[in-house]
């Protein structure tokens, strides 16, 4: 029987409050630091390792976190989730994004169907469609092959798929499996759609409209924008558009689309990259085999996340250390710093994943919480970030925990040797230097040049960004967020916080306003 208790009701909470903090700059200095780096690492899927040596934890803190994992029943709650219990209490729904990439537990039946079979069927239907497009069996009105795909969606229908596409674009070109250019239209700002449409040949483009309900205002507005462009080009929009939606939406079985592929209410937008939402665009861009490899990487990491011992479960351990930093060290933000240009939009996706999931001030039952929950998330690829916000990270008044992601090899194999080392070696050297600089600091009598240190970080190290490693990395962060939500006793799978603004925007457009809302509408000439 699961106990859904608030964090501060657990004995582990009291134990962690009394544990002695670690002086990071001391334990990371000299041979002590070298020993930590060698020993404090956990294997992940797809050849990754999660190294937490530069986190301000020791044996006592880790033991307390292991007890927290047991008392909070993290493994058992995950097991209930993947076996189809109603974990999303706000919307009274199951949470099934793990099923899109593999079967972890018993069969889950909902809406009269086996959900694993349903998700596999959508992958197969998308694969058949993509193969037909690539083979020239599905063509435009002039009999020409489609060369471009453009996804129309917002939030989880854009951020995740866009980040995954950009992460694999160069890899696919080098591997010879690049099939179609992909573009994305998300912002309701007409300049976004205009810029994309001006950069592509609409006659040779397949547009993917992604909306679970078929009623998302921004997405339908951008669809109308695209249809208008197709009409002005003398093209039939129904020969250029497919839909990714629910089976009950007005977009399903609609003659206005070449095809419709389905998702369901059990997969939140920010968790949908491994569903048809990511599957359609990635399969068209790179081929179905690449998308399948991406799913396999995520499935392998999910399997590791079922491990009950946090010291062998990198996703759970990462989550627990993050909880310790948030609730007991008082750190209000966290930076994700991928040292790979391929992951340029990955931090933006993680912003939504983390902040939309755990940005909650009430528990699963709607009761106010007496402790802080999800941190603010931001990030930028290295080394660009070093010349931007690292000043604050190193010497600012707030300590912000850091999560580095680095790879031993680049995607293209293209590099040059300058001053005795390659660009990739220089990139990796910067990661190593930053970790130690943040942890150990540097004393200088000139206070402008003094680095206090004691700035914690972890690093996820892989070989290369490829479909399997990208899937594993995505699953790691999805599972980390889930485990933290379990500890904080929040519902990580609804997002009521995004709804009020939508409602008020519709009132403004309907001229149903008063007070400040009416005045802002007047100022904006609405």
Q: Torsion over CA of 268, 407, 170 and 189, rounded to 10 degrees?
A: 40
How far, rounded to the nearest angstrom, does the alpha carbon of residue 389 sit from its chain's CA centroid?
A: 22
Angle between helices 288-305 and 276-286 (to 10 degrees): 140
3-class SS at 416?
coil
Euclidean distance between CA atoms 298 and 303, whole angstroms? 9
Euclidean distance between CA atoms 125 and 119, whole angstroms? 10
Counts of helices then strands in the chain (DSSP H, E) = 18, 15
Q: Torsion over CA of 162, 351, 477 and 8, rounded to 10 degrees?
A: -160
- For residue 263, the tally of other CB atoms under 10 A from its CB is 26
Strand partners, 403: 336, 458
- For residue 47, the tally of other CB atoms under 10 A from its CB is 17
Residues 57 and 22: beta-carbon distance below 8 Å: yes
Say which DSSP state 399 is in: -
Residues in the chain: 526
φ, ψ at 183 (rounded to 5°): -130, 165
Euclidean distance between CA atoms 466 and 46, whole angstroms? 9
Q: Would you please indicate which residues are annotated as catalytic (active-site) residues? A: 356, 387, 502
φ, ψ at 372 (rounded to 5°): -75, 155
- For residue 501, the tally of other CB atoms under 10 A from its CB is 9
Residues 355 and 374: beta-carbon distance below 8 Å: yes
Say which DSSP state 93 is in: B
3-class SS at 184?
strand
Q: What count of Cα atoms within 13 Å lies in the side-chain half-sphere of residue 291?
A: 29
Q: What count of Cα atoms within 13 Å lies in the side-chain half-sphere of residue 222?
A: 30
How far, rounded to the nearest angstrom, does the alpha carbon of residue 319 sit from its chain's CA centroid?
A: 15
Q: Within the chain, what is the greatest distance between any pair of CA atoms? A: 74
φ, ψ at 179 (rounded to 5°): -105, -45
Radius of gyration over every alpha carbon of the chain, rounded to an integer in angstroms: 24
Euclidean distance between CA atoms 292 and 119, whole angstroms? 12
Among 433, 471, 478, which Cα is nearest to 48's? 471
* Beta-sheet strands, E only, within 7-135: 41-43, 49-51, 109-110, 113-114
């Amino acid at each position: 029987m699961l106990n859904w208790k608030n964090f501060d009701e657990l004995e582990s909470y009291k134990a962690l409050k009394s544990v002695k903090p670690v002086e990071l700059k001391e334990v990371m200095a000299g041979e002590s630091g070298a020993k930590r780096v060698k020993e404090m690492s956990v294997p992940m899927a797809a050849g990754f390792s999660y190294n937490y040596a530069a986190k301000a934890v020791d044996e006592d803190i880790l033991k307390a976190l292991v007890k927290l994992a047991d008392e909070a029943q993290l493994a058992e709650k995950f097991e209930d989730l993947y076996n189809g219990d109603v974990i999303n209490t706000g919307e009274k729904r199951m949470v099934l994004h793990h099923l899109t990439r593999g079967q972890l537990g018993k069969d889950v039946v909902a809406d009269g169907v086996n959900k694993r079979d349903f998700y596999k069927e959508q992958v197969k239907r998308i694969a058949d469609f993509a193969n037909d497009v690539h083979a020239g069996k599905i063509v435009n009105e002039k009999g020409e092959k489609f060369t471009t795909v453009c996804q129309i969606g917002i939030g989880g229908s854009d951020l995740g798929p866009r980040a995954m596409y950009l992460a694999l674009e160069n890899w696919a070109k080098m591997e010879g499996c690049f099939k179609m250019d992909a573009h994305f239209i998300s912002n309701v700002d007409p300049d976004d759609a205009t810029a994309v449409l001006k950069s592509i040949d609409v006659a040779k483009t397949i547009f993917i409209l992604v909306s679970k309900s078929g009623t998302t205002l921004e997405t339908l507005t951008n669809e109308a924008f695209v249809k208008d462009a197709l009409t002005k080009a003398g093209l039939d929009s129904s020969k250029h558009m497919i839909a990714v939606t629910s089976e009950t939406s007005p977009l399903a079985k609609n003659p206005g689309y070449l095809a419709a592929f389905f998702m369901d209410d059990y997969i939140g937008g920010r968790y949908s990259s491994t569903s048809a939402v990511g599957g359609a665009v990635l399969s068209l861009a790179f081929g179905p085999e690449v998308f399948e490899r991406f799913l396999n990487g995520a499935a392998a990491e999910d399997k590791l996340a079922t491990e009950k011992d946090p010291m062998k479960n990198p996703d759970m351990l990462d989550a627990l250390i993050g909880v310790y930093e948030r609730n007991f060290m008082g750190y209000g933000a966290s930076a994700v710093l991928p040292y790979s240009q391929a992951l340029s939009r990955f931090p933006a996706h993680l912003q939504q994943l983390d902040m939309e999931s755990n940005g909650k001030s009430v528990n699963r039952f709607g009761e106010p919480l007496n402790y802080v929950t999800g941190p603010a998330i931001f990030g930028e690829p290295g080394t660009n970030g070093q010349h931007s916000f690292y000043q604050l990270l190193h010497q600012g008044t707030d300590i912000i925990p850091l999560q580095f992601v680095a790879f031993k090899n680049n995607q293209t194999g293209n590099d040059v040797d300058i001053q005795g080392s390659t660009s990739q070696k220089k990139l990796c050297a910067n990661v190593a230097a930053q970790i130690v600089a943040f942890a150990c600091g540097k004393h200088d009598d000139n206070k402008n040049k003094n680095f206090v240190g004691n700035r914690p970080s972890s690093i996820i190290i892989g070989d290369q960004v490829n479909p399997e490693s990208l899937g594993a990395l995505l699953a790691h962060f999805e599972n980390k967020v889930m485990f933290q939500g379990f500890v904080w006793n929040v519902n990580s799978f609804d997002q009521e916080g995004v709804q009020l603004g939508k409602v008020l925007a519709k009132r403004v457009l309907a001229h149903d306003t008063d007070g400040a809302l009416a005045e802002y509408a007047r100022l904006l000439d609405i």
